[in-house]
Structure 1
Amino acid sequence: MGTDIVKEQTPEYLFADAVYSFIDLAQLVANRLSKKMFWLIGEAPDGIAWRDVDEK
């Protein structure tokens, strides 16, 4: 498939999976504990936001 594809179990794949797992856990905790949604747009810390679930 070429060199542009990230293969499974490489350091890059494992890092991306860890980042995704952290963001997914933050979203779950925020929603369960405070009815908030976790947003990360751009770079941390400026891109991190917490929004009410009802907010659109």
Structure 2
Amino acid sequence: MTIEARIRELGNRHRTLDETIQQEIRRPSADPTRLRELKQRKLRLKEEITSLEARTH
């Protein structure tokens, strides 16, 4: 897999996580632990994307 393809894959996962976070926030009984875990996963993905993008420039 090329770096560009990996970045696209991670970007898709990042967007999916963002959608999941937004759905959780809208729930009347949002689980703060789940939200924190989802946000941490999203941040790790963003960090990996940034790292890979730096390698392509």
Structure-2-length-normalised TM-score: 0.45
Greater fraction of residues in helix:
2
Q: Which structure is higher in strand share?
A: 1
Relative contact order, higher structure (CA 8 A, sep 6+): 2
Quick check: which has more Rg, 1 or 2?
1
